[in-house]
A and B are shown apart, each in its own frame.
Chain A
Amino acid sequence: MMAEYSAFSLLANALKGNKDWKPAWRKPDPKASYDVIIIGGGGHGLATAYYLAKEHGITNVAVLEKGWLGSGNVGRNTTAVRSNYLLPANTRFYEHSMKMWEGLSHELNYNVMFSQRGCLNLAHTPAQFDDYARRGNAMRHLGVDAELMTPAQIKRLIPALDFSSDARFPVVGGLMQRRAGTARHDAVAWGYARGADRRGVDIIENCEVTGFLRDGDRVTGVTTSRGDIRAKKVAVAVAGSTGRVMRLAGIETMPIESHVLQAFVTESLKPFIDTVVTFGMGHFYMSQSDKGGLVYGGDIDGYNSYAQRGNLPIVDEVMSEMLALFPGLARVRMLRSWGGVCDMSMDGSPIITTGPLPGMYLNCGWCYGGFKATPASGWTFAWTIAKDEPHDFNAPFTLDRFHRGLVIDDKGQGANPRLH
């Protein structure tokens, strides 16, 4: 049994020269069969394994990860956690996630550093302010916190914003969700991995799924770079690679395009902004990490890509928008950029469902909002796998909703994934 983490265990171990710490999770070889196989050792896959074990007592579970655990988008995002959506299906789901975040460090006995420093959407025209009011009121009517802020309040909160008279897009107000914030992204993967492992789940890294074992239509297991593994249920949680994995199961088309999203961080700075802030006249969001780096990003590059690398136009665009808000940052330096591959769905909302084949369960289509969804995604997916039907929270996120016209289109962009 692994030790609980606490200030006491830290001290006790420090006195022994930190020699007694044990691996955060085991490194087992795969067994021949499991009750459930989860493909994808990212945040969602690991959370699913954790809740299968904890909530449903299903512990004979393997999580198969092609590379190193958490190598996908859980380790590549800009760490924002919020539930400030417009449409009820999204708001309910993300608010469930938010509530889980609020207790997650204790739940996992792992400090995921969820810091509720708020998320502020800046409005730059009265019409946009009304739009945000619509969204904020939608949230309030579902019991989610939201408030409008005046320019004076915003100036007090973020003095570095451009409030000069010649600002191209002056700040006329904002929508604030105080309970929103940021978390330490890697810690979420590690915390769930450790939690799942402690409940008996096998986490198997460097194990690439190369095909599906089938009995007729039914999925009965997977072939992998480490041998065949059978399972009663096979769950797919590989956002970014959904197309590739589903193709292995003979499913050629999906309501998804894979796009690359770049993210950026500056060198470490003393505290500069306290909240997550978003720009209303473009696509830009920024927060500051505990280490002091400004973490920020913008739009996807805008074309299908699995390359985890972006190109310059978006770099230039994001930096230009950054300086339109914060003209004092011109001399601050961008330290690192990286790319992640996003499942851009046809309405900007995810898919968490049984099927599409018997014995298969699918979790995908997170666009670039997957990180904040991690707890609820794992929780509802575990429910769906265990009970063979969705929970109320994920019932709207079906795969057939597109064809049926039951889209959940928060941005109102229609079937154009690059615009969501």
Chain B
Amino acid sequence: MLITCPYCGPRDVIEFTYQGDGNRERPDPASQNFEAWNAYVYDRLNPAGDHNEIWQHSGGCRAHLRVVRNTLTHEISSVAFVRGDHGSAARRKAEDKP
């Protein structure tokens, strides 16, 4: 399996570490909504088909990537920096603050 790291280019899966389901939303740190915490820690979508998941290019640039990969065929339809999507948006938001 090859994952095309946006920084390093196409690399063998051996260079990457799987970090699982990318759909999970971490609750607000101070949240006492235990259902949300439990869902975040323990519950997985685990679809048979396209799966939004996080991989770290641990044997390369060490960036975390958001990968959409089909769990039936292993076909990868998109790869992007995690920071590149909500990451940079969140940072911009933080920077906007006075």
Do A and B touch, yes or no (CB under 8 Å, in the complex)? yes
* A positions within 8 Å CB-CB of B: 241, 243-244, 247, 252-258, 302-307, 311-313, 346, 402-403, 415-418
> Which of chain A's residues have a CB closer than 8 A to the CB of B53?
303-304
**B13-A313 in contact (CB<8A):** yes
Give the A-B pair count, Cβ closer than 8 A.
73
> Which of chain A's residues have a CB closer than 8 A to the CB of B43?
253-255
> Which of chain B's residues have a CB closer than 8 A to the CB of A313?
12-14
Identify which of A252, A253, A307 contacts B71 (C-beta below 8 A).
Answer: A307
**A244-B42 in contact (CB<8A):** no
**A257-B48 in contact (CB<8A):** no
**B18-A254 in contact (CB<8A):** no
Secondary structure at the B interface, as helix, strand, loop or mixed, is mixed
Given A254-B46, A257-B21, A306-B48, 19 further pairs, Cβ under 8 A: A243-B45, A243-B47, A244-B48, A253-B43, A253-B46, A303-B13, A303-B69, A304-B53, A305-B71, A305-B74, A306-B71, A306-B72, A311-B74, A313-B12, A402-B41, A403-B38, A415-B41, A415-B42, A416-B20
Q: How far is the CB of B25 from chain A (nearest CB, A)?
A: 12
Report the bound CA distance from A311 to B76 in whole Å.
15
> Which of chain A's residues have a CB closer than 8 A to the CB of B46?
243, 253-254, 256-258, 304
> Which of chain A's residues have a CB closer than 8 A to the CB of B71?
258, 304-307
Cβ-based interface call for B44 (8 A): yes
Identify which of B13, B44, B73 contacts A253 (C-beta below 8 A).
Answer: B44
Give 6 A-B contacts (CB < 8 Å), ordered by A residue: A252-B45, A307-B74, A311-B1, A346-B41, A346-B42, A403-B34
Top-10 shortest CB links A-B: A253-B43, A243-B46, A313-B14, A402-B42, A403-B38, A303-B18, A255-B42, A306-B48, A304-B71, A244-B48
> Which of chain B's residues have a CB closer than 8 A to the CB of A415?
41-42
* B positions within 8 Å CB-CB of A: 1, 12-14, 18, 20-21, 34, 38-39, 41-48, 51, 53, 55, 69, 71-74
Report the bound CA distance from A417 to B43 in whole Å.
11
> Which of chain A's residues have a CB closer than 8 A to the CB of B72?
306-307
> Which of chain A's residues have a CB closer than 8 A to the CB of B14?
312-313
**A243-B1 in contact (CB<8A):** no
Identify which of A257, A307, A403 contacts B44 (C-beta below 8 A).
Answer: A257
Report the bound CA distance from A257 to B71 in whole Å.
11
Most buried by A among B12, B21, B74: B74
> Which of chain B's residues have a CB closer than 8 A to the CB of A244?
48
Q: How far is the CB of B13 from chain A (nearest CB, A)?
A: 6
Report the bound CA distance from A354 to B1 in whole Å.
39
Q: How far is the CB of A323 from chain B (nearest CB, A)?
A: 18
> Which of chain A's residues have a CB closer than 8 A to the CB of B1?
311
Q: How far is the CB of B27 from chain A (nearest CB, A)?
A: 14
Report the bound CA distance from A418 to B46 in whole Å.
13
From A343, which residue of chain B is reached at the shortest CB distance? B46
Report the bound CA distance from A403 to B33 in whole Å.
12
Q: How far is the CB of B83 from chain A (nearest CB, A)?
A: 21
Question: Known contacts being A304-B53, A305-B71, A313-B12, is A243 close to B48, with CB within 8 Å?
Answer: yes
